[in-house]
A and B are shown apart, each in its own frame.
Chain A
């Protein structure tokens, strides 16, 4: 694999190159959509349903229309006819159903926060004031809020358009699953509840839509990961040609999957601009974020694991139920998370049999959908908890238990019992590295010594498999217009520098930096000589952009192939100028050199000058193009799986129920590492998001579907003071599917951090016979598990 990198290419790939675009942020010169002010721009605010489910009986907009600063007030009757409805189903999720969505609530409101009316005013404050002048009457309908009502056959559906509260059911089963349980020496089981949480990007969702009727051009400045997806959505839903729709995603203040779904407010903002012929801005405030950004998780899982007498895992049986919203999200659906949960169960282990069932249920709360590490934390937490339970029953050390069961590093390629095909993973090597990195034996000794003193510390381990680099099998086959390919145009500028416009996007991960490193290596330049442009549908070729960890693997490969194509073209032009065979030339140090000797033949700046300003001096018939375009879609394996293992070291205060995170370790194998500095930061950030979900974050609702904690004062997020230092180690197993060999790394931290910390808490509590099965593991739940608090399973369980 390594030798596929021609040695004549100086390696910036693999170096901790610094992010140039970080300097703008450090100077306060970021350019986010929420910063944008356009001439004649007006501001939107929404009147939202205060009830989880009801029927609108009166809506009077007159007083709002007369309020100071108000330009327009719209209801469903004004906006919905402008736009085709959208329905979040995909054909490869056989049998799934969802009601269609439209811009504003029409007759029926379906969750607390459902937009009913839109006010456009000179300022946001005036728009909000006018919202208060709208008269809205709603007759209550029964609200489906929680598992109990969603599973109650007598309960009406969350939306009148749905026949029942079952959105989707799926089942996976190997032939030997039942027999494996019958013949098992040991069966361990449990039930887990995963709370609902949300992305809480520091910059909320922001959109400025700007329609110019003179040119027929709609420009949408949209803080999203996926500008081309929204170009297509806006064009199709509003009936515009897609080349007249431009979506610009400048700096985005965090996304994590949340900003790639279609939201009512964004559609309303576009519709208002189409009506008003002027820029309309919507920026969610924090409460609006809590009541309209997608939420994630909200699963309840019942699972069993069968093992033989030696502790070898034979099979798992899983029932995953998840509560979404009243609709499935568009265009990725709300069932993809559950689908990944039931397929990722037991993934690191050589487990021959499996039986998994998924039930996705509607309810009257904010929609759930893809958020960082989709499904992974749930599958990993359940699997790893069962592995620990089995180890305890068998008297095996948790490390030994995992070492016995992970798929051997020399057993690839292979497939999981759930149907995933793995090219090459490195669980054994990762476990070995982790053991040394964390000084496992020393830590166990320390734990035992502290126990004597009444200090209860725990060690938790969690192996994981992460899905990255999805091909068209992910969404495209189901009919979604979500691109699995990416595109780049690379050119040599007249001054001899490089420019790369590419469809993958940047939200701070360092996409532009790694693309510059990769292109630089192909052209014999330094990364600083490569300007990278992203996030503008008018400026780059179209592509899927950055989600599900595709930036490095797919975007990187696109850039690599584009760079090589340009290098070949430049050698052809140089060959024509120098009367040399193009194959005898190479690019190094900003010049065309003799490939064999390295002697400089022609500076790139000179080549660019001749091709741009004196093409007349080139031999006749020479193609003087200094630009190439390249698209790339993954082929071969449908996903690029990565793997790793995490460990947590925690202390539990058994009197207060507080968990102190002392240290965290991650060993990760994301294939070829393009930039170790950026990879480590991705992993750390991901770990902290996973820890937030495990310990603090939860969208709390009452029985009537009212959100109880829609502010950053009430919804707890991980802060610097509580977070541990995170040590990271790497194993590098490049994929053979691409020249670059990179896979993704964005979900790895989040995938297993919660599992590691839950196992660590349970390890600390083992002498008390207490065990946590619900996230977040709040102090109250820990005390309840210890028998000190009220009850172990409070109303949030249901």
Chain B
């Protein structure tokens, strides 16, 4: 039995019918075609599916779509469009902190959540914060560098 679902996605009101077993990631990807949210493990360990639910990072693969009823969901497309991670994206680009790009949206979500905590994290803290984000292509180092550089610049601003 499908169920009505109303939520905000990247600032837009969305209403649709979903099956109770559908995950938020599936609804974002398949129904709303926001394919920037990726699926790597579907069990909460790889971080490819991270989105912000009312500002907090959650795993789109573990969150049922119906759990997002009435919530505000932000995907990588939303973060990109709002310009709020433009500096982070620029640092990733400058250091080539991505290869295939499949982990990148999740990395950006984790990074943005970490940076929003305020204090400027050191490299060890950044590595620790990324402990739920798997990347098979890069050596992680450029990702850590990009986040550290953004943190330093935001901290100085």
> Which A residues are closer than 8 A to B by beta carbons?
18-19, 22-32, 34-35, 37, 125, 199-204, 251-254, 256, 285-286, 507-510, 677-678, 681, 683-685, 687-689, 711-713, 717, 719-721, 723, 725-726, 749
Contact = CB atoms under 8 A, between A and B. Distances in A.
B96 A202 contact: no
Contacts, number: 170
Contacts of A685: 99, 136-139
Nearest to B80: A27
Contacts of B98: 22, 25-26, 508
A721 B135 contact: no
Interface stretch (B1-9, B28-36, B149-157): B28-36
A603 to B, nearest CB: 30
Contacts of B139: 681, 683-685, 687-688, 723, 726, 749
Given A286-B41, A720-B140, A202 B134 contact: yes
A200 B38 CA distance: 15
B115 to A, nearest CB: 15
Contact of A723 (B33, B103, B140): B140
Given A286-B41, A719-B131, A721-B128, A27 B136 contact: no
Interface of B: 19, 21, 29-30, 33-43, 45-46, 48, 75-77, 79-80, 89, 92-96, 98-105, 108, 126-128, 130-131, 133-144
Given A30-B102, A253-B38, A18 B43 contact: no
B144 A720 contact: yes
Contacts of A726: 139, 141
A626 to B, nearest CB: 32
Contacts of B144: 720
Contacts of B43: 286, 711-713
Q: 5 tightest A-B contacts by CB?
A: A28-B36, A684-B139, A25-B101, A508-B99, A253-B102
Q: Which of B34, B92, B102 has the most CB of A within 10 A?
A: B102
Contact of A27 (B89, B102, B134, B135): B89
Nearest to B81: A27
A509 B99 CA distance: 6
Given A684-B141, A720-B130, A720-B131, A254 B100 contact: yes
A26 B104 contact: yes
Contacts of B142: 681, 684
Given A26-B93, A32-B102, A712 B45 contact: yes
A492 B15 CA distance: 48
A678 B130 contact: no
Contacts of A256: 136
A125 B20 CA distance: 12
A22 B104 CA distance: 10
Nearest to B19: A125
Contacts of B40: 202-204, 286, 712
Contact of A18 (B41, B94, B131, B135): B94
B136 A201 contact: yes
A713 B45 contact: yes
Contacts of A684: 138-139, 141-142
B93 A18 contact: yes
Given A508-B100, A723-B127, A23 B93 contact: yes
A681 B93 contact: no
